[in-house]
Amino acid sequence: MARHLRTRADPWKENARKEITMKKTLILLLALCLSATMLTACGAAAVEYQQFSTAFFGTFDTIIIIKGYAEEKSTFDRVTQEAQDMFIRLHKVFDAYNAYEGINNLYALNENAKNGPTPVEPELMDLLLYIKEEQPKTQGTVNVALGSVLRIWHDFREEYTANPLHVSPPAADVLAEAAKHADLGDVVLDPEAGTVAFLDSELILDVGAVAKGYAAERVAQRMLASDMPSFIINAGGNVRAGEAPLDGRLYWGISIQTPDGVAPGEEGSDMLDTLFLAGTSVVTSGDYQRYITLDGVRYHHIISPETLYPADYLRAVTVVTEDSAYADMLSTALFLMPYEQGLAYVEGLEGVEAMWVLPDGAVLMTDGLTASARSHGATALE
């Protein structure tokens, strides 16, 4: 079934964007003409946008790169400083492993919620409300209440990194015992009071499947409302594109990484393909993002709630949809499904496209995504 990305198929949006850019140009032109004493030829004046770029470490275990088009570097610096401050704040709020003075974060919640209603920061409440709404739609794949199982895997990877000779993978019975304490229904939210309580004292929440995308979306919404709406945020495997670049291109080029051991795409580098898009998110889940190899077996970070071991249906899956939190949730969900099930699932969703890399290296994508893929002839200009 041929379906289209909202961002490419919505000519109104594209026209509206052009119109806004044109309006901006006209307003500036008018302003310049009003101070005509300084100008000899008003008709020749035009707005010059420049691309700027910045990068920072320290949040969400990844480097975050932001590019944007602005008339002045000072505009870019101001908008991206605010973005960075938001990422720092959200990183602390969603951190499951560290406490921060004065912040009722996920770590504090996991420590205290078994004893009764525990206050949480508004952003954490908002994320948990979102998850309560969306998780049940993921066909039993994503479960943020699986933290006690995910922590065993996390500790195993950490121990291996510290001392690879004396580590063995978690035993099935230990995992099964932990999995008895993973019912999201036991997480009770009270949005009015701003508190969360766990009815199961051994339950642990892990929001790693959605937190980065959720954070990127909040930052993107702020930037879209700023005076620099033309931007792109790259947070590891999590890309959020704002309005189109202001250099004549219609789309940003977003490269998809080739999983190790898979033949690279036509571009010849370690890039599998490039997607040309604007006003949307591109989020990838893959077995190469966080893993260790022990006795020839790869143990990565996305755990099947059925087997309680790393899922092996796919090498990677990329989701394209406007909302970055949704894209992040779906990328993890799709990684936990066989390709056929995932394709049927995505085809039932509105405004979602996807691209899969199977264990044998085969690359498949939804029909609607081909219009945006360099491998199918797409460019940044059409």
Under 8 Å between Cβ of 196 and 207: no
**Shortest reach from residue 86's CB to ligand AMP, in Å:** 19
- Our finding on whether 287 is near Mg ion (CB under 5 A) is no
**Shortest reach from residue 200's CB to ligand AMP, in Å:** 16
What is the spatial distance between Cα 190 and Cα 193, in angstroms, rounded to a whole number? Answer: 5
Report the residue number whose CB is nearest to ligand AMP.
208
What is the spatial distance between Cα 169 and Cα 30, in angstroms, rounded to a whole number? Answer: 68
Name the amino acid, one letter, at 308: L
Helix (H) or strand (E) holding 46: none
Tracing tokens 């920061």 back to the chain, one arrives at: 121
**Shortest reach from residue 339's CB to ligand AMP, in Å:** 16
Report what 142 binds from ligand AMP, Mg ion, none; CB cut-off 5-8 Å by kind.
ligand AMP
Report what 354 binds from ligand AMP, Mg ion, none; CB cut-off 5-8 Å by kind.
none
Q: Which is nearer to ligand AMP, 143 or 321 (CB)?
A: 143
Under 8 Å between Cβ of 99 and 107: yes
**Shortest reach from residue 62's CB to ligand AMP, in Å:** 10
Q: Which is nearer to Mg ion, 93 or 228 (CB)?
A: 93
- Our finding on whether 209 is near Mg ion (CB under 5 A) is yes
Task: Find the binder of Mg ion among 258, 274, 280, 331 (CB under 5 A).
Answer: 331
Q: Which is nearer to ligand AMP, 253 or 305 (CB)?
A: 305
What is the spatial distance between Cα 358 and Cα 360, in angstroms, rounded to a whole number? Answer: 5
Task: Give the binding range for Mg ion (CB under 5 A) out of 99-107, 202-210, 242-250, 351-359.
Answer: 202-210
Q: How far is CA 82 from the centre of its chain?
A: 19
DSSP state string for 56-120: EEEETTEEEEEEEEESSHHHHHHHHHHHHHHHHHHHHHH-SS--BTTB--HHHHHHHGGGS-EE-
Give me the residues that bind ligand AMP (CB under 6 A), please. 142-144, 146, 150, 206, 208-209, 285, 289, 301-303, 305, 328, 331-332, 335-336
Q: Which is nearer to ligand AMP, 147 or 245 (CB)?
A: 147
**Shortest reach from residue 272's CB to ligand AMP, in Å:** 17
Q: Which is nearer to ligand AMP, 8 or 301 (CB)?
A: 301
Nearest to 239 by CA among 223, 253, 258: 253
What is the spatial distance between Cα 203 and Cα 178, in angstroms, rounded to a whole number? Answer: 9
- Our finding on whether 84 is near Mg ion (CB under 5 A) is no
Q: How many angstroms separate the Cα of 356 from the Cα of each of 119, 252, 272, 300?
A: 40, 21, 11, 17
Interface ranges with Mg ion (CB under 5 A): 209, 328, 331-332
